[in-house]
């Protein structure tokens, strides 16, 4: 008896899940070797003088694109460094080849590779690989959030309200947007346990899914920053919401434990 449509979807998701993890791991190994040499330099700036790109970013994206062309030549591609390319299969790969470039260049071990694949309904599979710690966070649309292949355990602590919450965030490169974010920050910091800002949106999302933070929010994030991380948070049972644009604040994303999601979005949106 032939496999039905549902079975084919499950097989495809399993194959895609393995591929996103393999791509993230291989690119992460390339980056880790360069990171440990400690000689990487910025090549140029992008949106502002503080928004840097390095040869490591470009090398990582080249590796991922070359692997995809070899095994899935009909898929589309959207990468931070190389722009978009439409495919004919209905699938598009959304890739941040090095999320946390400034950390990488300054020798701060908080950066990652984020790889996701999506169809017309959204993300099918995604992986965030922290090469410095050997941690692979992943999920599929129909499966649980995983850490190194095992389901993420329930957080050891449970945040009952915003006052006991550890919240992560990030700041824009644009000075005017940062000024507006500072006002939000000033309102938030007296209301929570503490705030963390490390510099990689994809890892912040993955760590929130793992219960290392109770919530995370950031504006000016791009699809490649959050595609895999949002899927992992959703499959971990977190509430994920879009932050609407307002005045000097561009659109953004929030992921949080259900206990604090409503209070947090009211403060930051």
Closest to 128 measured CA to CA, from 102, 106, 99, 93:
99
Residues 91-114 pLDDT 10s: 999 999 999 999 999 999 999 999
What's the pLDDT at 46?
Answer: 47
The domains found in the chain, sorted by start residue, are 5-151 (3.30.540.10), 162-268 (3.40.190.80)
Q: Which of 10-19, 151-160, 178-187, 213-222 has the lowest mean pLDDT?
A: 151-160
Residues 42-52 pLDDT 10s: 554 444 444 45
Mean pLDDT of the chain: 89
* CA–CA distances in Å: residue 139 to residues 70, 121, 154: 24, 16, 15
Residues 129-172 pLDDT 10s: 999 999 999 999 999 999 999 999 876 556 778 999 999 999 98
């Amino acid at each position: 008896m032939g496999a039905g449509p549902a079975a084919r979807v499950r097989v495809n998701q399993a194959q895609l899940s393995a591929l996103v993890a393999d791509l993230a791991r291989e690119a992460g190994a390339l980056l880790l070797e360069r990171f440990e040499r400690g000689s990487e330099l910025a090549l140029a700036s992008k949106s502002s003088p503080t928004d840097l790109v390095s040869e490591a970013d470009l090398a990582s994206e080249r590796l991922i694109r070359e692997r995809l062309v070899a095994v899935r030549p009909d898929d589309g591609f959207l990468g931070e460094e190389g722009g978009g390319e439409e495919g004919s299969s209905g699938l598009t790969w959304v890739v941040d080849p090095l999320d946390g470039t400034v950390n990488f260049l300054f020798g701060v071990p908080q950066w990652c590779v984020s790889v996701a694949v999506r169809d017309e309904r959204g993300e099918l599979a995604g992986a965030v690989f922290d090469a410095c710690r050997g941690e692979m966070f992943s999920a599929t649309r129909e499966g649980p959030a995983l850490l190194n292949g095992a389901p993420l355990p329930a957080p050891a602590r449970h945040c009952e309200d915003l006052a006991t919450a550890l919240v992560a965030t990030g700041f824009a490169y644009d000075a005017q947007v940062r000024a507006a974010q500072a006002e939000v920050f000033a309102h938030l910091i007296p209301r929570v346990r503490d705030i963390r800002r490390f510099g990689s949106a994809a890892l912040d999302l993955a760590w929130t899914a793992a219960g290392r933070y109770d919530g995370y929010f950031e504006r000016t994030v791009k699809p490649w920053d959050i595609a895999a991380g949002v899927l992992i948070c959703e499959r971990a049972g977190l509430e994920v919401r879009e932050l609407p644009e307002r005045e000097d604040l561009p659109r953004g994303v929030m992921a949080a434990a259900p206990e604090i999601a409503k209070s947090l979005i009211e403060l930051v949106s």
